Structure formats: structure tokens, C-alpha cells
A and B are shown apart, each in its own frame.
Chain A
Amino acid sequence: MQKLLKNQRLFNIVVPLFSILLGILVGAIIMLISGYDPVSGYEALFNGMFGSPKSIGEMIRAASPLILAGLAVGFAFKTGLFNIGVEGQLLVGWLAAVYVGYTLDLPAIIHVPVSILAAAIAGGIWGMIPGFLKARFKVHEVIVTIMLNYIALYSTADIIKRYLYAGNEKSFPIKESASLASTFLADMTEGSRLHWGIVVAILVAIIMWFILEKTTTGYELKAVGYNQHASMYAGMNVQKNIVLSMTISGAFAGIAGSMDALGTFQNMTVMSAFTGTGFDGIAVALLGSNNPFGIILAALLFGGLTTAAPQMNFNANVPQELVDVIIALIIFFVAASYLIRYILTRFSKEGK
């Protein structure tokens, strides 16, 4: 244990795991207090996540946009920026993907990448705006991104109503050639809505890791995030790097939107409220320690918990809201990693 604590990297894995455990534990206590059976509750939750090929498929499907949203938050965070605007960037990306998927006529091998690219560009532009405002006028990105979320929410709704409206609060569906849906994956998971989006999400995770850890661009981005003065001293263009970081982050978020556009829903709904995926991305990034692969695992957990929540309600009569409470508890304990660190240190001391 002592050795384990010394190793920072291992610690970054242990803290989230321990937080999950604590979240589940406290969740059980809450279930007991409220008069539900935690054992059957968690059994139902577990079955809802891993019980059948279909539930696994649904878990992965739900995780795909979460992975990308988490990557978007994590990327910005690693370069010293808080992108709270993932939600808005996701919405404009979603719309862009639907638009390109609906209007263009292309063979699937081109249509899918072009639609995803359109989503990335739209999200990128939406992220670039706060990046530019921060770099040029020192406007704090948190405020701008929050405001841009609202602008995105109502603008996309308006654009759908005006130009893409198919009735029943929905846009026209995308063409078959732009779809990420796969009968092969659906059959393999016995009828889930699993689509190829997960492959895209994993590819983007690899891209993020590569940019940050292997390229001069990543070296600059991180340096600017850690210490702007030293970056300037080293001859880096701080402004350019801030804009670039927000643009890349926004592009990731845009691709997250294309998951829903080209995969799960194949269209876009006229939304009156946020999807929440962008905000969940913040939690996913936190739980995954902003590490691309940690984010994948965290998103799978979040996706699984969300898709399994109805099961918990159905089988064990535990209200769905309680799953949200458990998710919140997990995040709480991750955020309180100082506390976890303290507890673990105490344990290791006593164990000696």
C-alpha cells in the first residue's frame, strides 16, 4: 500500500475506483434508509448493465457520446481551460451532422466521414469563439461557454423548425448512406441500438492521447496551460494556443453530437432543454482523471448506470432518481479525492 501511494500514476487509478466503491456504499445506505433492498437493487443495476448482450450493447451505445464529451472537457482541462460549453458544441455538431447527412447524396464510405467532419467543424467553431474571446480580450471562457450553450440550444431549435422540419418536433432523418447504425452490431447484441460510433469515439481518444503526449502541438498546449509566462518566454504563441485548444475541444464535442445524429436517433429533435451529455462530460472527465483511456472507462460506467436505471426501477422498485444520486455520490467522492487520499493514507499507516 505504501508503495502504491508513492506512485502517482497508480494513485490516479485507485482514487476513482475507491470513489466508485464509496458511492455505491453510501448509495446502499440511502436505499436502506428509504426502505429499499440494496442487494436486489444493485443486482438489478448490475443485470441492467451486464445482464444480457443487449444491455451491454446499450451501455456501449450510451457511452459513445459521453466518451467524446469527456474527451472534449479533458482536452481543454489538460491545457488549462474549462470548457463548460461542451453541451452547446455538441448541439451545433449534432445539427451539422443531420444537415449534411440529410442534404448530401454520397456513397456511405464518404458520406459518413463527411457528416462527422461537418459536426467537428461546427463544434470547433463553437469552441473557437470563447477561445478567441479569451485570447484576445481576456473574457473568461466559463462565462462565454455557458452563454453559448443557450445560444446553441435555441438557434438549433429554430433552424430545425425553419429549414429541416419533418413534423412532430423532429428534423428530417439522415440518409441511409450517412448512418452509423449497423445491423451487424445490432444482431450481435441481440437487438440493441449499438452503432459504429464507439469506434469513432475510441479513435478520437487515441487522437487526443497522440496530440497531447506525442506532438510539439501538445507540448505547447500543455505548457501554455501550466504556465503562460514560461510559454511566452520560450517563444510560444500563447493566444494561438488558447484558441487552438478550445477549437480542438469543441471539435471533439461536435463529434459527440454526430453520435446521436448519425447513430442513435438518425435525426434531431427540437429541444427545449439541454441533453445533459455535455455536462455529464465534465463528470466523466473528472472520474477519468482527464486521461483519454480513463475517460473511456468512466463513460462506460456512466452510460451503463443511465441505461440500467430503468431496470433498477422495474425489478427492484428503486426509483430511477436514486441512480442519479449514486452517480452524484461517485462524482462527489472523486471531487473529494483529497479526502480519499487522506483515508487511504491512514489505512496504509495502520496496516503497517
Chain B
Amino acid sequence: MEYVIEMNNIRKEFPGIVANDNITLQVKKGEIHALLGENGAGKSTLMNVLFGLYQPEKGEIKVNGQPVKITDPNVANRLGIGMVHQHFMLVHNFTVTENIILGSEPTKGGKINIKDAAKKVEELSKRYGLSVDPYAKIEDISVGMQQRVEILKTLYRGAEILIFDEPTAVLTPQEIKELIQIMGKLVAEGKSIILITHKLKEIMEVCDRCTVIRKGKGIGTVEVSETDPDQLAALMVGREVHFKVDKKEAQPTDVVLEVKDLVVIDSRNIPVVEGLNLEVKAGEILGIAGVDGNGQTELIEGITGLRKIKSGSVKINGKETAHLSSRKITETGVGHIPEDRHKHGLVLDYTIGENMVLQTYYQKPYSNSGVLSYNKIYEKAKSLIEEYDVRTPSEFTPARALSGGNQQKGIIAREVDRSPSLLIASQPTRGLDVGAIEFIHSKLVEERDKGRAVLLVSFELDEVMNLSDRIAVIYEGKIVAIVDPKETSEQELGLLMAGGKKESVGVS
């Protein structure tokens, strides 16, 4: 009876594929149990089986030692299983309490008894250190707070086992820290947690045990204290993975990108980039470190011509591009891996082949006096797909049907293939698994070694420290420090990112 949850030999098939093939997951009471796997490995399917959204073809589920049949989420709730979804299911113009009681409203003479509910919410919030205001409207609180509302929702319904589906994907580093504390409190109070993730660092930090699945198959369960990230990664991917990017000393030459006194305003007319100066040389990777919302997005949009520049100058290879259209800037030799691949990077309803010529379709040989040459387009797409190992059934497959990692590989293939002298990579590995991250990192270094200037923006400190030859710290729309990744530490960067001063501030 030592397990609260036992999923034994679960098998779940979908037409054409086996999503879960004989997977066993056993969770002890009071532990944080990681469920690790690459994107598409079958983690979500397994959890949806546990939550009653899917019925398994084979296998048994036991809760507290009793075999159960979980036919729908209501049954799961009754058994004390709660799920904190990655995409929150909240009504934005409702208050916290209203959201929490939604679906099981306590009534008193036909009226909703909001006061009692709010009191209960507040108690729960205090007990687990969530500090959520029960009367706040969802639209007024931060993403981190919204997640806590989701947690409260499960606790309010009496959940004993909480499933967290990639909870840190949407959080800032500070919020992640707080979430980890909350998880600690939850298990201290006797709850059990299943954490779905592909971030190894988090597992090492918070989990007790870890079950690994790969391509739908259960690989096994390990004690986190007896393993290390390398072993976990190898289990997950099925081969050795290199975290440290192998790279030689950078050989920077001429200045490719020169930004001077740049001011960019956002849609609310507030300057978010305020007199920013920056230089990127050919043959180096300049990483921009900073907390989300300090002007990174607007800086990149300003450089690439997607957002109007208020004042200042942007020079690419010595040529002023500050007020050119984005097409002109692209033609000057800029490749841009955008921060949001679905919003900016791809036309999801186009085939992956059509997406490969998104900036070049009007040029020869892809078109001739306004008439597209699909033969040439798909020929090109095919060769790029092979070269960059984009896993897709064919070049005629809609981009939507590809996994996130392969979509990103497609974008990188397209941007790098144009041989731009400046390559901008904004959050190039967000949401991707280690295999894809490794590939993308090595590509960026390869481009650097070919003599391109690479500008990297990332909220992942590890990524910035690993890849960059120089790190520029952005804070409130300005570069506040340039540091050498070999001589800095996470602590120092964290301080600078929060607006702290450095002794010898070396702004270039």
C-alpha cells in the first residue's frame, strides 16, 4: 500500500500509433515524482489516461491500492486527483474565488455563497503559502498567480495527488523559485505530486524519483539522488547528449550590427527601449540576458523593422537600416529566428515547403515574373529538410502537423540558408526538448564559426552562458553591462538583470 498511484502496464493506441506502450508509473505518498520524456513521447497521453480523459486499451490503475476505473475527470476528482494544466482554464473576467468554485458552486437558498467559498480559498492559500487574493480578478493578476489559482482549484476540490503539466514553461525565474517552494509545502502537508517536464534541472532540484518514457515506451524509474542530468538525458533521448556546447574561442572581426541610442516605443506609447547601445561583430555570439519584459522583444522588432523606431540608429554592415521596411532589412542580410514561432515564424496552414520560401518567394528561381515555380520551391524545401533533419512525412505536409522542435528546425533551416551576415535568434529553444536544443545550439555555433554575427536573446540563463562569447545584460530598455561568460556567475548575472550595479560597468 505504499503507492498512492499505480499505473501498471498502460497501453493506449490512437489510429496509426501506439502513444503508450506498456508504461508503468508508481507514485509514493508524499513524493514529487517526475515524468520525463521528449515532446511527443507520450507523457500527456499517460496523464490524460490518469485524469480520465482517455481510456487505456490495456493495463490497470490503482489509487491507494484499490483498482479503479477512471471514466472521466469527475471520477478523477473524486479520487483526489487534480491537474494543473499547462494552458490555464480560467475565466478572465471572473474573480479568483468565482473561478475556483466554477462547476461546484456552494449555494445557500438558491444563491451562490461566495463569502464562505472565499474564506475557504483564503485558508487554503495561507496554509500552502500561495498568497492569492480571493477577490482579485484573473485578468489583473500575473501568470504566476494564475497558476496558483489553478493549484488552489485542485486543492479546493480536495486533491491529494496533483499533476503539474510543464508548470515552469510560462514562468519567470523568480516565479519558478516560488513555485518550487510551494511544491515543497504541498508534499510537506502530505500531498503527492506528479511533475511532467523535460527540464532536467528542475528534476534534479525538486524531485524524489523520476520515471522516464521514450517514444511511448516506459524506460524505467530512477532515484533522483542516485542520478545526474547526463544520465537522465541519455535515458530520455536514447543516446549521449552534450550539454556543454563544444566551441572554440571566438574570432570576432568587423562590426556587423551597430545600434546607437535606440529608442523604441511599445503599443501603449511607452518607450521600452530607451537609448540602447549595442555592437555585434562577425564571428561572435552576443547573448542578451534579461528578465522578460525589459525591452528584448521590442529591440529585436526594432532592428528587424517590424516595429517603428522612435529615434537612434541601427547600422548593418555600416549601412543605416533604422527606417527601412522589414523586407529591405532582410535583403540587407538579416536572418531572424523569431521568439514566437507560431505567431511570426510560420504560416501554419502552408506546407512546410511553402514556409521555406517565406521571404524569398518573389525572387528567382522560386518565381518568375510573378508566377510561382512550385517545382523549384519544393526541390529547395526537400534539400533543406534533409540537410537540417526536419522530421516530416514530406515537404507537402502542413507546418501545423509538425512537432515544435521540427517546426523550429524548419525555421532555422530557412533563416540560416539565406547566409545572412547577421543572425538574430530570439528564444530559439523555448519549449524544445534536449535533442532539438543540442542541434540548434550546434547550428548557432557553426554559423558563428562561418563568420556570421549572431545575436541571441534568451530568458534561459544557462543557454546564454553556454552559447555566448559576450553577454549583454538588458535592464529597463538599456544594456547595463557587458560581461565575459567565462568570468561571470549566475549570481552576478541575476543581480545585474534585476538592476543591480556592477563595479566596472563596461558598456561598449
Residues of A bordering B, CB below 8 Å = 214-219, 222-223, 226-227, 229-236
Closest B residue to A236 using CB positions: B327
When the two chains form their complex, are residues B370 and A223 in contact, meaning their CB atoms are under 8 A apart?
A: no
Set of chain B residues within 8 Å of A227, measured between Cβ atoms: 343, 346-349
CB of B26 to closest CB in A, whole Å: 35
Taking CB atoms and an 8 Å cut-off, the chain B residues in 340-397 that contact chain A are 343-350, 354, 358-359, 361-362, 367, 370-372
CB of B360 to closest CB in A, whole Å: 9
A106 to B367, CA, bound (A): 39
Contacts A223-B347, A223-B350, A226-B348 given: A233-B372 contact, CB under 8 Å? no
Set of chain A residues within 8 Å of B304, measured between Cβ atoms: 233
A233 to B343, CA, bound (A): 9
CB of A16 to closest CB in B, whole Å: 21
Most buried by B among A214, A229, A230, A232: A230
Q: B325 contacts the other chain (Cβ, under 8 Å)?
A: yes
CB of B485 to closest CB in A, whole Å: 30
When the two chains form their complex, are residues B361 and A216 in contact, meaning their CB atoms are under 8 A apart?
A: yes
Closest A residue to B330 using CB positions: A235
A290 to B343, CA, bound (A): 25
A230 to B350, CA, bound (A): 11
Choose among A215, A223, A230, A236 the residue that contacts B345 (Cβ–Cβ < 8 A): A230
Contacts A219-B354, A219-B361 given: A233-B306 contact, CB under 8 Å? yes
Set of chain A residues within 8 Å of B362, measured between Cβ atoms: 216
Set of chain A residues within 8 Å of B306, measured between Cβ atoms: 232-233
Q: B338 contacts the other chain (Cβ, under 8 Å)?
A: yes
A226 to B348, CA, bound (A): 8
Set of chain A residues within 8 Å of B338, measured between Cβ atoms: 233
CB of A261 to closest CB in B, whole Å: 31
Set of chain A residues within 8 Å of B328, measured between Cβ atoms: 235
A218 to B354, CA, bound (A): 12
Set of chain A residues within 8 Å of B217, measured between Cβ atoms: none
When the two chains form their complex, are residues B336 and A216 in contact, meaning their CB atoms are under 8 A apart?
A: no
A216 to B349, CA, bound (A): 17
Choose among B325, B347, B361, B372 the residue that contacts A226 (Cβ–Cβ < 8 A): B347
Contacts A235-B326, A235-B327 given: A230-B359 contact, CB under 8 Å? no
When the two chains form their complex, are residues B344 and A233 in contact, meaning their CB atoms are under 8 A apart?
A: yes
Most buried by A among B304, B345, B358: B358
CB of A147 to closest CB in B, whole Å: 29
Set of chain A residues within 8 Å of B372, measured between Cβ atoms: 214-216, 218-219
Set of chain B residues within 8 Å of A232, measured between Cβ atoms: 306, 326, 344
CB of B17 to closest CB in A, whole Å: 14
Contacts A217-B370, A219-B354, A219-B372 given: A234-B359 contact, CB under 8 Å? yes
Contact with A along B277-300 (1 / 0, CB 8 A): 000000000000000000000000
Set of chain A residues within 8 Å of B345, measured between Cβ atoms: 230, 233
When the two chains form their complex, are residues B358 and A234 in contact, meaning their CB atoms are under 8 A apart?
A: yes
Set of chain A residues within 8 Å of B349, measured between Cβ atoms: 226-227
When the two chains form their complex, are residues A229 and B343 in contact, meaning their CB atoms are under 8 A apart?
A: yes
Most buried by B among A219, A223, A232: A219
When the two chains form their complex, are residues A233 and B326 in contact, meaning their CB atoms are under 8 A apart?
A: yes
Set of chain A residues within 8 Å of B330, measured between Cβ atoms: 235
Set of chain B residues within 8 Å of A233, measured between Cβ atoms: 304, 306, 326, 336, 338, 344-345, 358
Contact with A along B294-336 (1 / 0, CB 8 A): 0000000000101000000000000000000111101000001
CB of B487 to closest CB in A, whole Å: 36
CB of A209 to closest CB in B, whole Å: 13
Contacts A214-B371, A216-B362 given: A226-B350 contact, CB under 8 Å? yes
Closest B residue to A2 using CB positions: B15
Set of chain B residues within 8 Å of A235, measured between Cβ atoms: 325-328, 330, 359
Contacts A230-B346, A232-B326 given: A216-B370 contact, CB under 8 Å? yes
When the two chains form their complex, are residues B348 and A215 in contact, meaning their CB atoms are under 8 A apart?
A: no
CB of B312 to closest CB in A, whole Å: 22
A229 to B348, CA, bound (A): 12
If A223-B358, A230-B358 are given as contacts, then 10 extra A-B residue pairs at C-beta distance below 8 Å, sorted by A number, are: A214-B372, A215-B371, A216-B370, A222-B350, A227-B349, A230-B344, A233-B326, A233-B344, A235-B325, A235-B330
A236 to B305, CA, bound (A): 12
List, sorted by A's number, 21 A–B pairs whose CB atoms are closer than 8 Å.
Answer: A214-B371, A215-B367, A215-B371, A216-B361, A216-B370, A219-B354, A223-B347, A223-B358, A226-B350, A227-B347, A229-B343, A230-B343, A230-B344, A230-B345, A230-B346, A230-B358, A233-B345, A233-B358, A234-B327, A235-B328, A235-B359
Set of chain A residues within 8 Å of B325, measured between Cβ atoms: 235
Set of chain B residues within 8 Å of A218, measured between Cβ atoms: 372
CB of A58 to closest CB in B, whole Å: 38
When the two chains form their complex, are residues A216 and B367 in contact, meaning their CB atoms are under 8 A apart?
A: yes
CB of B354 to closest CB in A, whole Å: 7
CB of B417 to closest CB in A, whole Å: 15
Set of chain A residues within 8 Å of B346, measured between Cβ atoms: 227, 230
Set of chain A residues within 8 Å of B359, measured between Cβ atoms: 234-235
Closest A residue to B336 using CB positions: A233
A234 to B357, CA, bound (A): 9
CB of B394 to closest CB in A, whole Å: 14
Set of chain B residues within 8 Å of A214, measured between Cβ atoms: 371-372
CB of B490 to closest CB in A, whole Å: 33
CB of B14 to closest CB in A, whole Å: 13
Choose among A217, A223, A229, A236 the residue that contacts B344 (Cβ–Cβ < 8 A): A229
CB of A291 to closest CB in B, whole Å: 15
A281 to B229, CA, bound (A): 61
Most buried by B among A215, A223, A227, A233: A233
Set of chain B residues within 8 Å of A231, measured between Cβ atoms: 347
Q: Which 7 A-B pairs have the closest CB atoms?
A: A235-B327, A233-B344, A234-B358, A226-B349, A229-B343, A235-B326, A227-B347
A220 to B355, CA, bound (A): 12
A186 to B157, CA, bound (A): 76
CB of B348 to closest CB in A, whole Å: 7
Set of chain A residues within 8 Å of B370, measured between Cβ atoms: 215-217
A218 to B370, CA, bound (A): 9
CB of B189 to closest CB in A, whole Å: 44
CB of A179 to closest CB in B, whole Å: 34
